[in-house]
Chain A
C-alpha cells in the first residue's frame, strides 16, 4: 500500500487565489511527521512546512498552512495568495517514528501552475 498518496498530478490556480494540494498518508506508527517540500524546475528541494503527529494545532508558515486531519489521515497544503513563483512541483513526505535520522517517504507529487 502507498504510504503517501497525492492524487493531483497537476493543479492550476489563478494568481492571488488560494490553492489546496491534497495528501493522504498511511501508517500504524503513532509517532510520525509530515513534511511538504517544493521543487522548482532547478531541482532543489525546498522545505516548506512540518506537522508532527502529536501537534494539536495546524502548522502555519507565512502563506503556507497545513490542514491536518488526523482521523482522516490527511495533511493538505494550503497556499494562500498564490504567486507566479509558486509554480513548481510539490511533494508531501512522511517520516515514521522519532528521530531525525529516519528516512522520508515521498508522495508522487503535484505540479502546480500559477496563472497570471
Chain B
C-alpha cells in the first residue's frame, strides 16, 4: 500500500511553545490530507481536512488559530500547534487518500505530543 510518514514521532515541549508536525505521502500525490487527534483509549477525531493549495477546513470546535495547517505541496502537509498547553497533549495522526483500489486512507505512524 501507499506510505505516509510523520515527523517527529514523539515530541515533548514546554507550555507556551509551538510544535510543527510534518505529514508526507512518500510514493503518491495527495491533494487531500486529514489530521486526527486521539486521546488515550479513545477514537480518532477529525480535526481538519487539508487541501493542497488552499485553506484547510476545520471541524467544529477546533481552533484554526491554534492548530495551523499548511498543505504547500501534493506530498506535504504540516500541523503547527501554537502556544501549546498540557491539554493539547495527545496522539496526532495524519492520513492521505490515494487512488488505490478502495480509495482508502493511508495513515501516518502518528506523533505523540507531550506538553509539560
Answer yes or no: are A and B bound together in one complex: yes
Set B43, B49, B101: member contacting A91, Cβ < 8 A: B43
A-B residue pairs, 6 tightest by C-beta:
A100-B103, A100-B97, A45-B107, A50-B102, A101-B32, A43-B110
Cβ contact within 8 Å between B103 and A104? no
Is A44 part of the contact surface with B, judged by Cβ < 8 Å? yes
Residue of A nearest to B107 (CB): A45
Cβ contact within 8 Å between A103 and B99? no
15 interchain pairs, CB-CB under 8 A:
A33-B103, A43-B93, A43-B109, A44-B107, A45-B110, A47-B106, A50-B101, A100-B99, A100-B104, A101-B31, A101-B97, A104-B46, A106-B44, A107-B43, A109-B43
Bound Cα distance A99, B110 (Å): 24
Q: Mark B31-74, 1 if CB is under 8 A from A, else 0.
A: 11010000000111110010000000000000000000000000
Is A28 part of the contact surface with B, judged by Cβ < 8 Å? no
Shortest CB-to-CB span from A97 to chain B, Å, is: 11
Chain A contact residues: helix, strand, loop or mixed: loop
Cβ contact within 8 Å between A35 and B109? no
Cβ contact within 8 Å between B43 and A44? no
Q: Which of B31, B93, B104, B109 has the most CB of A within 10 A?
A: B104
Chain A interface, number of residues (Cβ within 8 angstroms): 21
Cβ contact within 8 Å between B91 and A103? no
Residues of B within 8 A of A106 (CB): 43-45
Residues of A26-45 at the interface with B, using a CB-CB cut-off of 8 Å, are 33, 35, 37, 42-45
Cβ contact within 8 Å between A104 and B34? yes
Cβ contact within 8 Å between B44 and A35? no
Please name 20 further chain A to chain B contacts, defined as beta carbons within 8 Å, in addition to the given A43-B91, A45-B107, A47-B1, sorted by A numbering. Answer: A33-B102, A33-B103, A35-B102, A35-B105, A42-B109, A43-B93, A43-B112, A44-B109, A47-B104, A99-B103, A100-B32, A100-B99, A100-B104, A101-B31, A101-B97, A103-B34, A103-B46, A104-B46, A106-B45, A108-B42
